[in-house]
Structure 1
Amino acid sequence: MSDRVEAISGLQQRKVFKIIVLGDSGVGKTCLTYRFCEGQFLDKSEATIGVDFRERTIKIKNEEIKLQLWDTAGQERFRKSMVQHYYRNVHAVVIVYDVTKPETFHSISNWMHEIESHSLMGAPRVLVGNKCDCGTPESRLATTYAVRLADKYGMPLFETSALLDTECDNVESIFLTLAHKLYSKQPLRVMSVEGELGPRVVTLPRHKRASRSDTCLCS
């Protein structure tokens, strides 16, 4: 088959990479993608019920690369109807846990099993410990445990906070690391429809909580 691609009205040639963000409910997946795509913290976060979809275009070697970030609900009852669509044509995976909630860290093995069941163990993956601004150093999961698990699955580890402006560069590094890996691995271009709307986003507002000094905002 010829490599030549015929010009089609409404389409533009560019590299497009689909990155899915996994993790338990409330670990801050939506806030991380919002921080990367919008450059600021999402201070009125809502619980994702369907799929949250964001895009950002970056440049690598003077070539425009579009990153599509898919953030799904962490609760199983909201995911069953969309799992197959969510995992279709995935290029890379981000797995997020809350450094102040050990149960979200222990769930990583379940997420890895799901990744394996969709034949994505060969895709670039990163592990992210979010909410480093919350709790106390003693209450947060020790980095050594996270490093050990990341090494087990062959993933780089990032510890960060979607809330803190000082951590913005670290959030950037998460997705740019994947982008550079994908750029070097994927020489073929993907056809994308410019201006195409992403999947419908369905959200459920959270009840506003009383302001407290120990309350973490990046949920």
Structure 2
Amino acid sequence: MSHSYQFKYIIIGDAAVGKSCIMLNFIDKRFRAEHDLTIGVEFGSKIIDVQGIKIKLQIWDTAGSESFKSITRSYYRSAAGALLVYDITRKDSFNHLSEWLNEARLNGNPSMAITLVGNKFDLDENRTISYEEGLRYAKDNGLGFLETSALTGHNVNQAFVDTALAILGKINDGTIDLNSPIAGVIAKEKLVRTPEKQQGCCKGS
């Protein structure tokens, strides 16, 4: 399937919040209950349709363990979008969000679109972080926000689509420079059309 753009994504957050499961559900529509902790980074890709525009997502799922942070920092630099994931049943994963956000903004490009993702919505009865708390944090920090379940697939696709929409908005308003090597965006087709007057001239020749 041909595509107009290629976006680089990273998925960040504490270990065991469900980052790898979110990527697996998004790409393969399946859930793996037993999942080894990510060592370094894992990679996946998928083409999605966003408002009629085909976009290939290259997704890097990063390790949440502190011992791998030096490895994963290099993946921030050229990412166009990021999913910042916490577990709605684990207060510690929410409390660590600012550390991850600081890492992303320190090591990533300034135009990166970041979506806050509260995962494990299927465990709603065990939640320690309310939806309102997540939404407030997102608004205070200029992030997109939704809650997902990697088990049921609830909002998983939407998390990737919402981030892509934010990136497209940055492209359209000029925030993202398509010629920048660290933008995390590759335009596969030239979408800037030839001026109508020039087209008419050519047709008449």
Classify the TM-score, shorter chain. 0.7 to 0.9
**Corresponding residue pairs, total:** 176
Which residue of 1 is the match for residue 29 of structure 2? 39
Q: CA deviation at 1:29?
A: 0.3
> 1:68-147 counterparts in 2 under 5 A?
68-84=58-74, 86-134=75-123, 136-137=125-126, 139-147=127-135
**1:19 maps to amino acid:** Y
Q: CA deviation at 1:74?
A: 0.3
**Gap regions ≥5 residues in structure 1:** 1-11, 193-219
The equivalent position to 2:186 in structure 1, one of 187, 190, 214, is 190
* Contact preservation (8 Å) 2:138, 2:145: yes
| Aligned residues: CA RMSD | 2.2
Q: CA deviation at 1:135?
A: 6.1
The equivalent position to 1:59 in structure 2, one of 24, 29, 49, is 49
* Contact preservation (8 Å) 1:115, 1:121: no
Q: CA deviation at 1:28?
A: 0.2
Higher helix share: 2
**SS, match of residue 93 in structure 1:** strand
The 3 A distance-change label for structure 1 pair 80 and 145 is same
**SS, match of residue 66 in structure 1:** strand
Distance 2:52 2:136 in 1: 37
TM-score (norm 2): 0.77
Distance 2:3 2:123 in 1: 43
TM-score (norm 1): 0.72
The equivalent position to 2:137 in structure 1, one of 139, 143, 149, is 149
Distance 1:61 1:41 in 2: 27
Which range moved further: 111-120 or 87-96? 111-120
Distance 1:42 1:181 in 2: 29
Give aligned-pair identity as a percent: 34
Q: CA deviation at 1:77?
A: 0.7
- CA deviations 1:45-83 (Å, max 9, x no partner) are 221012111100113454431001111110121231342
**2:186 maps to amino acid:** V
Distance 2:35 2:171 in 1: 34
Distance 1:53 1:18 in 2: 11
The 3 A distance-change label for structure 1 pair 63 and 119 is closer
Which residue of 1 is the match for residue 12 of structure 2? 22
**Gap regions ≥5 residues in structure 2:** 173-177, 179-184, 189-205
- CA deviations 1:85-143 (Å, max 9, x no partner) are x1231101110000111000000010111112124453211111101222625x43122
Q: CA deviation at 1:163?
A: 0.3
Q: CA deviation at 1:42?
A: 2.5
Distance 2:166 2:21 in 1: 23
Distance 1:16 1:107 in 2: 30
Distance 2:53 2:133 in 1: 38
Which residue of 1 is the match for residue 191 of structure 2? none
